[in-house]
Amino acid sequence: MSVTFNTDVLSIILYFLRYNKQTLYSCLFVNRLWCQLTIPILWRDPWTFFYRIENNSPPSIPTQPLKLINTYLSLLPIESIIELQKNGINVPIHSIEPSFNYPMYLRGLDLNYLYKSIIRWIYDKYNEKLSIHPLQKAVSRLKKFGKKVTGRDDSIETIDDEDKLKNEQILLIYSKLLSFFFKESPKLSLIRIKPKKNDIMFSNLINSNEAKKCLSYLTGLECVDDHKMEETYAHLALSNTNIYQIMIHGYQNTKSLANLLSVQKKLQKLYFVNINNISPYVYWTTPGVGLELQKKAHFIIKLKLEGSCGFLELLKDFINLEEFSLRCVHKNSCNDRIPLKAPTLRNLKKLEFEYEHKYEINFIANLIRNTRQLTKIIIKGSRISDPNNCNLLLDSIKNYCLQLKICSIPISIINPRLISLLESCKNIQRLSLFSIPSENQININYCDNFLVQILESEPVSLHTLELINCSFSVEVWEKFLEAQYISKKSISYLWMKHNFQPSEEFLKNCSTYKRLGMLKTFENINLYRACLSPKFYLRID
């Protein structure tokens, strides 16, 4: 029996899957309607699906960026394709027009990723050309060897000429695609900019009427506070006053970026990345970017810091904050920059801390005490400088977070009060416990009581449980899994090899439990989630 969906309802369902590429790709093949509704979602911000692109990746990895550039090039106007071919760029001309005009759906543009993808595309074509003619390649090498023997080596000049030609081709493709995007996309909602030489070309292109119209709808900007971008920010300030989310890398105090921020009327989401070598108060009070942001601090409802622990000192200025995230992957401790007194943020609903260096639980526990509406708490990182305060953290959560739904916390005591936590926070749906064992606890089953307390409390809402670095006896573990399997809970068991290693017997049992469907996964993680999580980057809401 076929099932039909209301088109509007189906569109909403697919939209909520916008960051799940595999699922969306499967939806393309259901039928024509599903395909027509899925394509605009897949192509609204295609860079997010393969956001990380490393220059030293093996040739087999970057197939997705190459396909992306191939698709966009095939859609260029015929006159642009002919111009590219005249400049030695092999762009095939298709006899059949594509089913969709993909640039029309573009709402997010990542200039850095676009530029890197074009570089890979050019070098892939160049290597492909060499591999097609191995005899010519061998002859060329023999000629170069002969010139070296006779003292007439001009290989350096040849390489320089080749690199110069490649760079010219890269910039030509870059300019053609940008012009094409500005022409075809009715509006761009988000743009990510990094200070590269290619962005000088972008500064020139955005002065066109098509670019001005397209970028006038901009609501999100990821940028670098760099003087090289003065002209770009000056152009954006003339036509953009509705940016509500911005990510800033660096702190050169660019005047035009400060002017761009000053004219924004709806700024609500602020991200800082790697602003760590300047005093927060100097940044906050010096005329320029920091001061303009300080003026808008009470409008900010979402704040994210990456590698910028010092800005914890400024939390008290964000009085209406609803979401706060801090991710610091620096090896060196930033504790000397953490304020002694936690601010009061009554509207805070989501709180996330991810550390690779040492950090204090006491500050986080006191911050939680000063809130009343938290529904999400994520604390990740094993290098705790005050593990005895884990009990204080539990008390703060159970007393002040009665609406909590998602909880990830470290546990460093033998008998934590998990029962009281689960009884107070009855709405917890996802719980992650990270055990921080002391030296005398490594070889004993000190975490059995975790499982016993969860079994006794019988949390009704809990459906996902993650246990990290925990030492369990096989008997208690098996009893626990059988009970949770009946209640259909999803259980994951993880450990960090440099901190803890389960016994072979225990791992064999885990393998059996996984085959039986009682355990979702069990695996070693080299570093905790702070190192595994993707970097912050802006998304289209």
Same domain, 38 and 116: no
Same domain, 169 and 59: yes
The better pLDDT of the pair 378, 532 is held by: 378
Residue range 92-105, pLDDT digits in tens = 776 667 788 999 99
Query: Which of 178, 203, 218 is the C-terminal boundary of a domain?
Result: 178
Q: Give pLDDT, residue 89.
A: 87
What b/e sequence results for 166-177 when a residue is b if at least 16 CB atoms lie within 10 Å of its CB, and e otherwise?
Answer: beebbbbbbbbb
Q: What is the mean pLDDT of the chain?
A: 83
Residue range 37-53, pLDDT digits in tens = 999 999 999 887 765 44
Within a domain: residue 278? no
Helices 474-486 and 504-515 cross at an angle (nearest 10°) of 20
For 68, counting Cβ atoms within 10 Å of its Cβ (0-12 exposed, 13-18 middle, 19+ buried), the class is: buried
Same domain, 31 and 148: no
The tally of domains found in the chain comes to 2
Residue range 247-301, pLDDT digits in tens = 999 888 899 999 999 999 999 999 998 887 788 889 999 999 999 999 999 999 9
Largest CA distance in the chain: 86
Question: Where in the sequence is the domain holding 127, given as residue range(s)?
Answer: 46-178
Query: What average pLDDT does this structure show over 53-69?
Result: 58
Question: In whole angstroms, what is the distance from residue 112 CA to residue 104 CA?
Answer: 20
Specify the 3-state DSSP secondary structure of 490.
strand
pTM of the model: 0.85
The yes-or-no verdict on residue 404 having pLDDT over 60 is: yes
Contact (Cβ atoms closer than 8 angstroms) between residue 30 and residue 3: no
Same domain, 27 and 113: no
Residue range 133-155, pLDDT digits in tens = 555 555 555 555 565 555 555 54
Within a domain: residue 473? no
Q: Give pLDDT, residue 387.
A: 85
Same domain, 53 and 127: yes
Question: 469 — alpha (psi -120 to 50), left (phi > 0) or beta?
Answer: left
Same domain, 60 and 32: no
Within a domain: residue 189? no
**Percent of the chain's residues with pLDDT above 70:** 82
Q: Which has the minimum average pLDDT: 62-76, 328-342, 464-478, 496-510?
A: 328-342
Contact (Cβ atoms closer than 8 angstroms) between residue 211 and residue 205: yes
Within a domain: residue 51? yes
